[in-house]
Amino acid sequence: MCGVCGIVTDGPTPDRSLITSMMAQLSHRGPDGSGYLVDRGAILGQTRLAIIDTVGGVQPLSNEDGTIWVVFNGEIFNYLELARELKRSGHHFRTASDTEVIVHAWEEWGEDCFNRFNGQWAIALWDRIHRRLIMSRDRLGVRPLYYHLGPDGITFASEVKAIFTNPAVPRRLDPVGLDQIFTYWSTVAPVTPFEGIQQIPPGHLASYADGEFSVRPYWQISFPERGREASQDLEENAAGLRERLIEATRLRFERSDVPVGAYLSGGLDSSVTTAIIRNFTDAPVDTFSVRFQDAEFDEGYFQRLMAKRLDTRHQEIVVAPGDIADIFPEVVWHAESPILRSAPAPLFLLSRLVHQSGYKVVVTGEGADEMLGGYDIFREARVRGFWARDRNSALRDRAAELLYPWMARNPTQAPAFARSFFGMALDPADPAMSHRPRWNSTGALHSLLSSSMRARLETEPLTDFAEALPPDSKSWDPLARAQWLEMVTLLPGYILASQGDRMLMANSVEGRFPFLDHNVVTFANSLPARHKLFGLDEKFLLKYAFADLVPDEIRYRPKQPYRAPDAASFFAKRPPEWLQESLSTEAVLAAGVFDPRQVTGLVQKARQRAGRLGNTDNMRVLAVASTQLLHRQFIADDPARNAAEFPPQPVHIFDLIHKERHSDDEAH
Amino acid sequence: MTIAEIDRILREFTIATSSTTEDLELQALRTAIFVEDTFGLTLTDNELDASLLNDSVMLRALVIKMVGDQ
C-alpha cells in the first residue's frame, strides 16, 4: 500500500519540486521511502509502505528495457502465479515484488492484464515509446485514484490533497458532488466533491496521450437472470463459497513479508475471516477491535468471545464521544469528503492502535454485506415488496416487527411508523425501490442549502441513479439490483473510501478485504437470491458455510450495523472550538454551501438536546460540520501548507532524460 | 418449477428458520415473505394464516398448488 502521483503534459517537463510536493502530501500512505521518475513531459512518483519485497520493490519500476514504467498503490495477490507464467513466456524479473509483475503483464497482455489481477490497486503506467499514460483502478474501488485534466496535461494522485499542491489546479467544491453526497451518501465516480477533480471509476482503465483522454471499463458487476443461476444446490454453493473465501483470506494473510493482523468487529464477517486465518494458517493471530464507552454502540462482548475462542493476541481501543470530537478535523482531512456519520472516526483511532502495535497490514470483513445480502436495506426492501403486493392487507403491517424487534415494545405505534417511512415510494416497477427511502431521507439535507447553492443545482439537476442500472438488470432478482446499487454507490464511495482506505492509510496501515476478492465476488453474484437473503435471514449462505468456525451466538445475533455516536460526540459536552469556528455565520457564509440561519437553528437544537437527535438531524449535523471543515482545509486554506516538507526518505530518483539514477540527496 | 425443486427450497427453509423465536403470527409472516419472494406468489389475507403457513405439510401443499396454478 502506498501513494501514487504524477503529471503528464504536452508542454515542458514539469519541475521536480511539483512531484516532491505531491509525494510529501502522501507521506502517510508510504512512510518507508519514495521515488520518482523524470521523463520528457512526465513525472511519476510514489511513496512506499513496504510490504512485499521490502528491499527490492523500489518504485517507480520498469520492464526489462525501460520502456514501460509503473507506480502502483495496492497488492496483486496472485503475483507469484502470474510471475511464473510470465517467466515461462520469456520475461526476466529483477525483483521479487508484485509491482514488477504489472509491467511484464502489460507487455504480455496489454489491457487484458487487469482482468488477470487478483488484488486491489491504483496503477499508473508510463509507456515511453508511445508517450502514453495508462491508469487503472481495481474492480470495486478499494484503492483511490484521482485526476485533473488541464489545458496542457493531466495531474493524478491517490489523494486530492496531492493534486492540490499543483498551483495550476483550481480549488473549488463541486455542487454536483455535494448534491450526490446529500442524496446517495457518496459521490459516484467519476464525480468527486471537488470541481475539476475526477476519479477513475472502479473496474476502469484510462488512457492519456497527445492531449486525448479516454476511460473505459475492463470489468463490470453482473448478475444472472433470476431463476437461471449457475447452481441452486445449497451444499454445492456453500462449499463453493467456503473454498473461495478460504483461498481469498489465505492469500491476503500469507502474501506479505511483514506480519498481518486482523480486525474483529464482533460481527459475522470479521469472525469468519479471522477464524479462517486461525484455522488455515500457521501464524499466531493478532486481532484488533474498537469499542465504545456508550453501551448502545459497543460490541465488546462478542469481540472478546471470538478472540477467546480463536486464542488470538487481542487488543482493543475504547472510544469516548470526546475522542471523536477531538479527531474529527483530522478524519475529514483524510476522508477528503463530507461524511454523514461519525463512524470513520473510531476506525481512525483503531488503525492508529494497529500502527502503534507495529503492524502495517490488517485483514478485515468489509464487503460481505454487499456481496452476500447483509444490509438492513435489503431486508427492508423485502418487507416493502411484501407490502406492495397487497396494500390493502390488514395483516401485512406486522412484518415491520421482523425487521426491528424493538418495534414489538411499541406494538400500537410501530407498524404506523414503519409504514410511513418504509411505505413511501412503494412502486415495484421502480428498479431502485430498495434505495428510495434512504435517498429521500438523505435528501432532507437539501433543506439546509443556501439559496445560491440551490440555484446552482437547479441548473444541473441530479440524474436519477436508477437510470445507471445496466439494461439486463431488468431480468435480475430485485435483491441483485439492490446489491448493484450498493456496490456502485456506498461501497466505493463511503465504506471503502471514508471508512476504509482513508482511515487505514491515515496511520500507514493497509487493509485487505477477502470478501472483495473478485473470485468471491463473481461467485457470490452468481448465487440465487435466497442463498444470500433467505426470506429475511441475511447472509444465509455465509452462516451456513462457516457454522463450524463461528459460534451460534455470533451467527444468529441480530445484525448490529457499525455505528458511532454522531451529533452526541460534539454536543454532549461543550462543543469543541473547531466546531464553533466552522459553524459560525462567517464560516458558513464563506463556504456558501449552507444557509446560516438553518445552520444556527440546527446548532441550537443540538445544544438543547445535548446531541441526542433523530437520524435525519444527526446526518444534518455531520454533513454541515464535515463540509465546513472540508471547505476550510481544502479551499479556504492551502492544503499544501499542511504537508510535510520533504517526501519520505530515502528518495529514489530515475532521471530518464539524462539516463541517471540518484538517491535522496537530490530530493532537497 | 418442479416439485423436486420446490421440495429442495422448502428443506432449505427449515434450516434458515430453525433459530427463530417469534410468536406464531410473526412466524407466519416470515414464511409468507419467503414464499412470495422465492416462488413469485402473492398470498391473500386468508392464506396469511399461522395454522397454514407454520405447518410444513400444509405449506408444501399450498406452494405446490399455487406454483402449479401460475
Measure the CA–CA gap between A2 and A401, rounded to whole angstroms: 46
Band (pLDDT 50/70/90 cuts) for residue A640 is confident
More confident residue, A476 or A560: A476
Q: Least CB-CB distance to B37: which of A234, A385, A394?
A: A385
Count Cα neighbours of A199 within 13 Å in the Cβ-side half-sphere.
28
- What are the residues whose beta carbons fall under 8 Å from the beta carbon of A297, sequence distance 6 or more? A563, A564, A565
* Whole-number pLDDT of residue A413: 54
* B50 part of contact set with chain A, CB < 8 Å: no
Closest CA to A666 of A5, A36, A29, A60: A36
Q: Give the model's pLDDT for residue A428.
A: 84
Instruction: State the Cα–Cα distance between residues A443 and A293, nearest whole angstrom.
Output: 31
Phi (first) and psi of residue A64, to 5 degrees: -60, -45
Instruction: Please check the confidence at residue A88 and state whether its pLDDT lies above 90.
Output: yes
Report the percentage of chain A scoring pLDDT > 90: 84
* Distances in whole angstroms, Cα of residue A395 to Cα of each of A443, A604, B32: 31, 42, 11
Q: Average pLDDT over chain A, rounded to whole?
A: 93
Q: How confident is the model at residue A230 (pLDDT cuts 50, 70, 90)?
A: very high
Count of beta carbons in the 10 Å neighbourhood of residue B44: 10
ipTM confidence: 0.95
On whether any CB of chain B is under 8 Å from the CB of A557, the answer is no
Q: Is the pLDDT of residue A418 over 70?
A: no
Burial class (CB in 10 A: 0-12, 13-18, 19+), A108: middle
Residue A260: strand pairing partners: A361
User: Cell 416487527 appears where?
Assistant: A401
Q: Do B17 and A396 touch (CB under 8 A)?
A: no
- What grid cell was written down for A338? 463530507
Distances from the Cα of A627 to the Cα of A172, A279, A393, A491, angstroms: 12, 44, 44, 20
Classified as helix, coil or strand, A19 is helix
The pLDDT, as a whole number, for residue A666 is 44
Distance from CA of B6 to the nearest CA of A (A): 11
Q: What is the pLDDT of residues A199-223, one digit of tens each?
A: 999 999 999 999 999 999 999 999 9
User: Tens digit of pLDDT for each residue in A494-552?
Assistant: 999 999 999 999 999 999 999 999 999 999 999 999 999 999 999 999 999 999 999 99
Q: What gap in Å lies between CA A177 and CA A188, rounded to an integer? A: 8
pTM of the model: 0.95
**Is it the case that residue A668 has pLDDT exceeding 80?**
no
- Going by the DSSP 8-state scheme, the letter that residue A42 receives in this structure is E
Q: Specify the pLDDT at position A421.
A: 66
As a whole number of angstroms, the distance between CA A257 and CA A272 comes to 23
A428 touches B: beta carbon within 8 Å: no
Q: Provide the shortest C-alpha distance from residue A411 to chain B (in Å).
A: 13
Among chain B residues, CA nearest to A392: B45
Q: Does A529 touch chain B (CB under 8 A)?
A: yes
Of A385, A389, A530, the CB nearest to B9: A530
Phi/psi of residue B25, nearest 5 degrees:
-65, -40
pLDDT band, residue A455 (cuts 50/70/90): very high
Q: Which residues pair with A207 in a beta bridge?
A: A134, A214
Does A256 have pLDDT greater than 60? Answer: yes
How far away is chain A from the Cα of B52, in angstroms, using its nearest Cα?
Answer: 15
Residue A563 pLDDT more than 80?
Answer: yes
A379, A536 contact by CB (below 8 A): yes
List the one residue out of B58, B65, B31, B35 whose CA is nearest residue A399: B31
The neighbouring-strand residues paired with A9 are A153
Q: Which is higher by pLDDT, A583 or A414?
A: A583
- Residue A665 pLDDT > 70, yes or no? no
What does the pLDDT read at residue A225?
97
Q: For residue A416, count other CB atoms closer than 10 A to its CB.
A: 13
3-class SS string, A84-101: HHHHHCCCCCCCCCHHHH
Lowest-confidence pick of A279-288, A497-506, A522-531, A635-644: A635-644
What does the DSSP assignment read for A334-395? HH-S--SSSTHHHHHHHHHHHHHTT--EEE--TTHHHHHT-SHHHHHHHHHHHHHHTTT-SS
Which amino acid is residue A318, in one-letter code? V
Which SS3 state, helix, strand or coil, does residue A198 take? strand
Percent of chain A whose predicted confidence (pLDDT) is above 70: 96
Angstroms from A567 CA to nearest CA on chain B: 34
Q: What pLDDT is stored for residue A649 in this prediction?
A: 93
Interchain CB distance below 8 Å, B48 and A233: no
Indicate the residue of A399, A529, A556 with minimum beta-carbon distance to B33: A399
Which residues of A117-248 form beta strands (DSSP E)?
A: 119-127, 132-137, 146-149, 153-157, 198-199, 204-209, 212-217
The values of phi and psi at residue A330, to 5°, are -70, -35
**Cα separation, A555 vs A539, whole angstroms:** 10
Inter-chain CB pairs, A–B, below 8 Å: 71
Give how far B21 is from chain A: nearest CA, Å. 11
Given CB atoms, is B27 within the 8 Å cutoff of chain A?
Answer: no
Could you list the pLDDT tens digit for every one of the 70 residues in chain B? 899 999 999 999 988 876 566 789 999 999 999 999 999 999 999 999 999 999 999 999 999 999 988 7
B59 interface with A at CB cutoff 8 Å: no
Q: Enumerate long-range contacts of A211-214, CB under 8 Å, 24 or more apart.
A: A211/A10, A211/A153, A213/A149, A213/A154
Question: Which of A30-34, A158-162, A353-357, A419-423 is least confident?
Answer: A419-423
Asked if A253 has any chain B CB less than 8 Å from its own CB, the reply is no
* A650 upstream amide cis, omega within 30 of 0: yes
Comparing CB atoms, the residue among A389, A402, A552 nearest residue B30 is: A402
Residue A546 has a pLDDT of 98
Question: Do the Cβ atoms of B37 and A535 come within 8 Å?
Answer: yes
A6: pLDDT strictly greater than 70: yes
Is omega for the bond preceding A437 within 30 degrees of 0, making it cis? no
Q: What is the pLDDT of residue A628?
A: 98
* Of the candidate ranges A327-341, A360-374, A406-420, the one whose mean pLDDT is the lowest: A406-420
Q: How far apart are CA A477 and CA A223, in angstroms?
A: 9
- Read off the pLDDT of each residue in A34-40 and give the average, rounded to a whole number: 96
Q: Which pLDDT score, from 0 to 100, does residue A412 have?
A: 55
Asked if the model's pLDDT at residue A625 lies above 50, the reply is yes
- Asked if A1 and A505 touch (Cβ cutoff 8 Å), the reply is yes
Inform me whether the pLDDT recorded for A152 exceeds 50.
Answer: yes
Q: Is pLDDT at A27 greater than 60 in this prediction?
A: yes
Write the residue in B12, B25, B45 that is nearest to A398 by C-beta. B25
In this structure, what C-alpha cell is assigned to residue A465? 441513479
Q: Report the pLDDT averaged over residues A18-39.
A: 96
Interface membership of B69 toward A (CB under 8 Å)? no
**Which DSSP letter does residue A646 get?**
S
CB contact under 8 Å between A534 and B30, yes or no, is no
C-alpha cell of residue A31: 512512510
